[in-house]
Structure 1
Amino acid sequence: MLQPAFDYDPRKLPVVEAQQVYAPHAEATRTVDLREMVRILRRRRWIILGTIGVLVGAAAVYLMAATPLYMATATVLIDPHRSQVANTSDTAPAPSNFGTDDAMIESQVLLIQSVAVLSRVVDTLNLVNDPECAPRPGLFDPIRNLLRSEPATNGRSPEEIAKANTIDALKQKLKVTREGTTFVIDIDASAENPERAAQIANTVADSYFYEQVQSRYNTNKIAASWLNKQLDELKARVLASDKAVAEFRASNDLVTTQGQTVNDQQLFDLNNKLIEAHVQTAEAKAKFEQVEAIAKNKGDPGTLDQALASDVIKQLRSQYAEIAKNVADVSSKYGPQHPLVVNAKAQLREAQRLIDQEVGRILENTRETYRVAQSREQALKNSLGQLQSTSNNSSQAQVRLRELQREADANRTLYESFLARYKQTTAQESLELPDSRVVARADVPIRPSFPKKGLILALAFMLGAGLGVVLAFIADFLDRRVKSPRQAEDITGRPNLAAVPLVGTRELARRAHRGRQALDDYDPEKSPMLPPLMQPPLMRYAVEEPTSLFAEAVRAVRLAVQRTGGGRHGNLVMVSSSVDGEGKTTLAANLALSLAAVGMRTIIVDGDLRNPELSRSLCPKAKVGVVEVASRKASLEQAVLFDQATGLALLPAPPRRRETAFINEFVFSGSMRSLLGHLRTQFDVVVVDSPPLVPLVDSRALAEQADRIVLAIRWDATPQEVVAQALDTLAPVYERVIGTVLTRVDLRRLRFYDYYRSSSYMEPYSYLGQPRVELTP
């Protein structure tokens, strides 16, 4: 344990003369950093461990009491293309957005949990009579039944109400989820019986498929009925429109064949024939002009197509060529005047004449053909003109006829479309497939899925740890007891002089046993002062165990008293506390013994006249004391008792039960002031064990006479507010308070509040066989 390193230098700051302005002690500011948080958790570890233990224990009890549930899972795949197998229409559009639309998939999830599907499951598995699916009473059901005037049956029978309750209970056992963004849906069913869980999961999947097929069947049936009604209406409309067309055509003499009127067909035929006749006339004219040109120009008729095609011209040209060859041969052989030559030329001219005659006949024939073609074309033009005139007269009737015909065609087309759709719908009524299929049917689970023991225990542990940490911080924040020297300094504004450790009960028991052994040798008639062995175990602990940490703390207080005294004679040191039971008497006795042990003339005065604990502990048989000496009923030498080992003088205060009013006012009297002044002249140090500050005002009167005031604070017991209130009572003499002393400090626990002032740093300095740290059992 390290004592605080304070130093009041009398040359620089004499405490008696220092004029300090007393300020009310503000709330101690607590700066919580990471190290302080760790210290809080360490010193409040039992709260954390207790909270963890409670929650883990509660979780364990719950796990032992909870009924295990088994979960079976059936996996369903939404497959919209599967139903297209039954589609008899090749032109029906494929469901493009069914599988990719999240809203549609979520709708299927809700459909699986619908009342229609679950109602079929209840009927199939007879869950109404299953005790596990029976509705269990809730915590607030009695209150609801009390506030409800009449049962909310809504006209339903008891069987229907029981089935509705069973469906509600079944919903609680089902969990239908979609796996991510896939088309796969998991149907989880939980039950106390594993076989029952698998049955429920598989039956829900089957009921979902049945509901899909039934829904499609009903839809097709409704569509077929509607189409049938529409077909009757369309059939009547088609018959009426066809009848209107026929009547209008008959009334306007618009006979048609192959979809056209006779007049239109004639116009079409005459127009085609006129075009053909015009082409033939043009051809005949071209041939005539060619033949005529050859005939006028005496050209070679061989170039004519007719001549080339005529067998007569071919023979004449052949004969002409032979005769021309013969003329040339004879002329070259006999000369131009030879009769053979003349005869040959005559034959050549005859051949030429025959050719010309044939060409003339061809020309006449071509002219006649051209004339016939012109006549035919003109006749066709005349006929076409007459038909066009007739057609113009019936054009308005044909416009109306075409309008009626279009209406009739539209009605017929719509009727045929509805008729085809009706046949398809009727055919699909007997063949429907659901849009989903089972990927994996539910198997009977082997082990229960609830409760998850490991998870629950882990959650209980983590929740307990978290809650314990929160409670630890709350408890530490709400704990207003003084726990560390730093807190005492922050509250009082004065240094903490020492932390007197708590002596273990074993050590106290050992010393008490030693005192009981010395009781047989004690004679109260010889000396009112108890022998050292019979005194309370802690009254002389500092001098009897000088190597202990207890003695080290007392020496620290003694050093503070000596330094602040400035070496002057007759210092009066008052030792007090906020309330009773804080160890001020033990501290005062050990401080006085320590001062006397170093050779200073020291007297300890029992100033607590109402509860003289010091006198009862050291000299319970004393007859005279402070009151008698101050009242001059006895001399100082008669009342003072001495400790033979150290030379410490003791002025007791024997109890006076019959003079309570006198005792209450005695410390305020001049006699008490004179007594203390006289003691200053006789001793180097006067130690006064005063009453507590908060409940009594006696200490305030004694404080006005004191030079130094030491405030004892019981560690981990005295609230900070009480210490602050005690300091308020010393406000007029605040500058005389030299510091505070923490008493009964558990040094091992102190390291969780102030590590550097705990026993950790004193470990190497424990010697002479003394215990390193005084502990409680």
Structure 2
Amino acid sequence: MQHKLSSPHERAATPDHGNGNLWVETWPVLRRRKLLILGCGIVALVAAQLSTGRGTPEYQAVASIRVDERQSQPPLQDVVRLSSGNSRSAVANNISTEMQMLQTRSLARSVVDSLGLRTRVRAPAGVARSSIFSEIAVSPEGERGEYAIERTARGTVELLDRTSGASLGRIGPDGRIEAPGASMRLASTAAQHPRIEFDIVSSDAAARALSGAVEVTRQSRDTEIIEVRYRGTDPELVRDVTNALVTQFIEERNQSSSHSTLSTVGFIRAQISGIETRLAAAEEALRAYRESAGVVSVQDQATTEVRQTADLVAQHNVIEAERVALARVLNYAEVNRSSNTDNTTSSSYRDLVAFPSLLRNQAVSSLLSSLNQVEDRRADLLARRSPSDHDVMILTRRAEEIEQQLHTVAVGYLQGLNSQAAALDGVLASSNRKLGQIPEKEMRFAQLQREVTGLEQVYEQLQARLKEAEIAGAAEDVSVRLVDAAMLPTRSLPTKRNLLLALSLVVGLAGGVGLAFVRELKDGSVRTRGDAQFAVGVPVLGMIPRFGHPRRRFYQSVRTLLHPRTKGLGSGQSSDSTAIIPAATGEAAERAYAADAYERLHTNLLYAHVRNGCRVVVFTSALPGDGKSTSAANFALALATRGLRVVLIDADLRRGSLSTVFRVPRAPGLTELVSDEKRSSESTRTVYAAGSGQLDLVPTGELPAHPTQVLDSPEMSALVETLRARYDLVVVDTPPLNVVSDATVFNTAADAVVMVARAGVTPVEALIYAGEVARNAGMPLVGTLLNGIDFERDASYDPAYRWYSYGKAYYTEVGS
């Protein structure tokens, strides 16, 4: 099976490589980056473990209150039910309103002031505030500050300002502390702590914190029970705050109900006073008319028909007058309502009380009373708050709802008056033709008498309403009552630690997967044979596995092929070079495995299209660290073990490293040999390879000031030709092409040039540029050598790697 060779850019831009399965493409990435993914997961898990381990336990207290409909205003509730068509919806709205009132900032400020919640203990953490302070009193205008109580070396206790570090005075034996705007007393158990830190925050900050920690919920949709929850780190304070919150709410609601009742009583008394004045005036007018008209007995002055006609006329006039007046009042109320945008003036719908017919309507009377109560509460709040305050806006909306209900009832009543007036017009038109002679004074008397009677009825109704209001004010409001008070919590809230750890692990692994794909997309290094062939444009002649300890890979790869003893020919010096072999393999197996990889390279070079029989082979690379010196040394040693006469030249006259690898002196070497060919014996070292082979090594010698001039000299060309004739193979290690141009001088002397690249290290772009440099210089570039391959790990990049990975196990079995 042949695999298509492509560039990293093509691989990155092509999500599907022919398998049609996303998992097939994703799994290799996850396998290659498994250490990165596991590392991210472990880091996230450890971070979550540390954060959850240092957390302070939290406690929660719950109190329950029952909210019923107000029993003092049944007519108003009837009107609401009629307008909405659903009594349970009205109850739900009432409970929702009370739940909102439980979370108002004004209620939170009251609890903050009553419990001194502006004082917060910072250290020691997890200690109840009552064990630090037995008394706390903070004025609403007190300044904010950060303080500390510390016991000095002399045994005294001082109050310190943590911000400035200044001492604010000593604390006396009674434990009384006087801070700016605050006074408190230390508890007897506070002496256990050498240092106590506490803050005094602003009222707004404390109220916001309290509102944020309070949760108000309804127990269920079918019950009128509200549950108030508060959570914190101090169990005693959690209980006290919850109880104070519900107690303060009930007290404020009772005060509001009492104030509303008193307002209703005052309103009714004012209306009674007005009706009394009007009734007295009507009776006086009736008495004066009797005296002036001489009316003594109605029966003697008019017939039954006259009385009926007079009644009709009086009724028509009353209806007409009431209709006109009601229309005027409605018009005035609408105009006043549209112009009263700031909602600061009282409602004009209060004038509806002047209409006895409407006042006799129990719903209208209740609505007017409710409107008066709401406006009185809103006026009381406006004296202390702005119109945009949340509580004021709630009352404003409630007043608008009542006004709308009054408007609806009044409009309906006006329409009824219009119909009655039209009907009476027809009856009176017929009666007037018959009773054209009815005395006007009799009709006037009947009208005055009817007005007196109507005012008397209204007066009696108002007196009855006044008694009802006074009774309601004397009775206790039980529409809101405490069901269950908060108890001292004995268990902290579950922290869901295991769930947090699991989520942290999942998030860490997900982040690791994301980071793995990011690194994979940004990885522009050579990974496969296709990458190398795409970059250089020549075939891959060899693939060298990665073996040995990662920190000593360069030296070990060479010493694996070395004999334990290395000698210099000319000087007779010797040095020990023991190979570092992994524990998984034996020495012979490691040596055979490494040698075989380089023998494959030699075989491919022999069959490549090279000139002069491939006697002079130059190794170069794109960048330093690609492994060219290692590859050149191992290539020479591998062929030397086969009995070939091989010479290895270190032509990197800038930073050659072969003398260090083989542990031989750097000089004399190539520099001296080029200048004086007679020094060949002392400039060449003999390295004994494993087995019976040996290798001649020419180190760099003294590093010259101008390396390119030395390498490009006629003496260098002559030296190469001399070595070509003397040895079966001349291996030359040259500097990287992308760094310096020293390697290009071998364009004519070399039979073959091998470009070395390290898998996972050499950038593809650098390799492309090196190939262009070699071709532009006319170098006989015949192939690339891909080294440092981890066949097991990199098999996900190139499927052919997995077959090469069997080689190590094969040689291990043979060696054993």
Q: Normalising TM by the smaller chain, what interval?
A: 0.5 to 0.7
In the alignment, what sits opposite 1:500?
545
Deviation string, structure 1 residues 661-710 (Cα, Å, up to 9, x no partner) = 35431222233334445655666654321122233210122246434332
Query: What one-letter code is carried by the residue in structure 2 that aligns with 1:60?
Result: Q
1:281 paired residue number: none
1:233 aligns with 2:274: yes
Match of residue 112 from structure 1: 102
Residue 652 (str. 1) matches residue 698 (str. 2): yes
Match of 1:579 in 2: 623
For residue 705 of structure 2, give the secondary structure of its aligned residue in structure 1: helix
Within the candidate set 221, 239, 256, 1:215 is matched to 256
Cα separation, partners in 2 of 1:518 and 1:63, compared to 1, 3 Å: closer
Q: For 2:709 and 2:630, locate their aligned partners in 1 and report how far apart those are by CA, in whole Å.
A: 25
Change (3 A) 1:680 1:406: farther
* CA deviation after TM superposition for structure 1 residue 233, in Å: 0.9
Q: Which residue of 1 aligns with 2:717?
A: 673
Change (3 A) 1:391 1:66: same
Q: Deviations over 1:1-43 (max 9, x none)?
A: x9x9899xxxxxxxxxxxxxxxx99797454554443333333
**Which of 717, 726, 730 is 2:774 aligned to?**
730
**More deviation in 206-215 or 481-490?**
481-490
Is 1:204 the counterpart of 2:250? The answer is: no
Does the 8 Å CA contact 2:264/2:469 hold for their aligned counterparts? Answer: yes
Q: 2:51 aligns with which of 50, 56, 62?
A: 62
Aligned to 2:352: none
1:726 Cα deviation after fit:
3.3
- 1:240-274 Cα offsets, whole Å, 9 max, x none, are 123323433443344456xx6742249799xxxxx
Where 1:565 maps in the other structure, the secondary structure is coil
Question: Structure 1 39/78 Cα, relative in aligned 2: closer, same or farther at 3 Å?
Answer: farther
Distance 1:721 1:50, change over 3 A: same
Assess, with a 3 A threshold, how the Cα gap between structure 1 residues 545 and 452 changes in structure 2: closer, same or farther: closer
Q: Is the 8 A contact 2:275 2:459 kept in 1?
A: yes
Q: Report the alpha carbon displacement of residue 113 of structure 1 after superposing the two structures with TM.
A: 1.9
Distance 1:543 1:57, change over 3 A: closer
Aligned to 2:210: 170
Q: Which residue of 2 aligns with 1:590?
A: 634
- Please name the residue that 1:263 is paired with: 302
* One of 52, 63, 67 as aligned partner of 1:74: 63
The letter of the residue matching 1:744 is: G
Name the counterpart of 1:51: 40
Say whether 1:40 aligns with 2:26.
Answer: no
Higher strand fraction (1 or 2): 2
Is 1:563 the counterpart of 2:603 in the alignment?
Answer: no
Q: Which amino acid aligns with 1:608?
A: D
Give SS of 1:769's match.
Answer: helix
Unpaired stretches in structure 2, ≥5 consecutive residues: 16-21, 122-128, 130-135, 147-162, 165-179, 184-199, 309-431
CA distance in 2, matches of 1:129, 1:622: 78
How far did 1:237 drift?
1.2
1:189 aligns to what SS in structure 2? strand
Q: Which residue matches 2:322? A: none
Taking a change above 3 Å as real, the CA distance of residues 27 and 698 of structure 1, as seen in their structure-2 partners, is: farther
What amino acid does structure 2 have at the position aligned with 1:57? V
Distance in 2, matches of 1:735 and 1:542, equals 40
Alpha-carbon separation, structure 2, partners of 1:41 and 1:107: 56
Q: Counterpart amino acid of 2:701?
A: P
Q: 1:222 to 1:543 in 2, by over 3 A?
A: closer
Aligned residue runs from structure 1 range 364-513, under 5 A: 393-433=437-477, 435-436=479-480, 438=482, 440-449=484-493, 451-483=495-527, 485=529, 487-496=531-540, 497-504=542-549
Contact 1:582 1:714 in 2 (8 A): yes
State the shift of 1:446 in Å.
Answer: 3.3
- Distance in 1 between the 2:28 and 2:449 partners? 102
Asked if structure 2 preserves the Cα contact closer than 8 Å seen for 1:495 and 1:739, the reply is: yes
CA contact (8 A) 2:293 2:441 kept: yes
- Cα distance change of structure 1 residues 430 and 686 upon mapping to structure 2, 3 Å threshold: same
Residues 564, 579 of structure 2: 8 Å contact kept: no
* Paired residues of 1:481 and 1:717 also in contact (CA < 8 A): yes
Given that 2:8 and 2:524 are in contact with CA atoms closer than 8 Å, whether structure 1 keeps it comes out as no
The amino acid across from 1:576 in the alignment is T
- State the alpha-carbon separation in 2 of the partners of residues 608 and 590 from structure 1: 17
Query: Structure 2: how far apart are the matches of 1:29 and 1:592?
Result: 37
Match of 1:252 in 2: 293
Aligned residue in 1 for 2:784? 740
Would the alpha carbon gap of residues 705 and 74 (structure 1) be closer, same or farther in structure 2, given more than 3 Å must change?
farther
Task: Give the CA deviation at 1:451.
Answer: 4.0
Assess, with a 3 A threshold, how the Cα gap between structure 1 residues 570 and 93 changes in structure 2: closer, same or farther. closer
Aligned partners of 2:666 and 2:702 also within 8 Å: no
Aligned residue pairs: how many? 610
2:193 matches 1:193: no
Q: Is the 8 Å Cα contact of residues 589 and 812 (structure 2) preserved in structure 1?
A: no
Listed as ranges, the gaps of 5+ residues in structure 1 are 8-23, 139-144, 147-155, 270-387, 773-777
Query: Contact between 1:529 and 1:641, CA under 8 Å: does it hold in 2?
Result: no
Cα displacement string for residues 52-110 of structure 1 (whole angstroms, at most 9, x for unaligned residues): 33333333333333221101122445443xx33x5587995465667526765443222
CA distance in 1 between partners of 2:654 and 2:239 (Å): 84
- Structure 1 pair 691–123 and aligned structure 2 pair: CA distance change class (3 A): closer
How far apart, in 2, do the equivalents of 1:643 and 1:165 lie? 82
Measured in 2, the distance between the counterparts of 1:549 and 1:55 equals 42
Amino acid at match of 1:171: S
**Structure 1 counterpart of 2:213, which letter?**
K
Please tell me the residue identity of whatever aligns with 1:40: V
Q: Distance in 2 between matches of 1:687 and 1:755?
A: 32
Are the aligned partners of 1:593 and 1:646 in contact in 2 as well (CA < 8 Å)?
no
Q: Deviations over 1:200-246 (max 9, x none)?
A: 32332233223222222211211221221121112211221233234
Displacement, 1:434? 5.1
Alpha-carbon distance in 1 for matches of 2:560, 2:633: 20
Say which SS state the counterpart of residue 632 (structure 2) adopts: helix
CA contact under 8 A between 1:122 and 1:163: conserved in structure 2?
A: yes
Contact 1:76 1:436 survives alignment (8 Å): yes
DSSP-derived class of the 2:486 partner: coil
2:546 corresponds to which letter in structure 1?
Answer: P
Give CA deviations for 1:132-190 in whole Å, capped at 9, x if unaligned.
5999979xxxxxx99xxxxxxxxx98799976665444334322245686765431112
Describe the SS at the equivalent of 2:813: coil
What is the TM-score of this pair, normalised by structure 2?
Answer: 0.62
Specify the alignment match of 2:326 in structure 1: none
Which SS does the other structure have where 2:474 is aligned? Answer: coil
TM-score by length of 1: 0.64
Give me the whole-angstrom Cα distance separating, in 2, the residues matched to 1:638 and 1:91: 118
Quick one: distance in 2 between partners of 1:389 and 1:612?
A: 140
- C-alpha separation in 2, matches of 1:579 and 1:702: 18
Contact 1:620 1:654 (8 Å CA) reproduced: no
- Structure 2 CA distance for partners of 1:405 and 1:467, relative to 1, 3 Å: farther
Identity %: 23
Q: CA deviation at 1:118?
A: 3.2
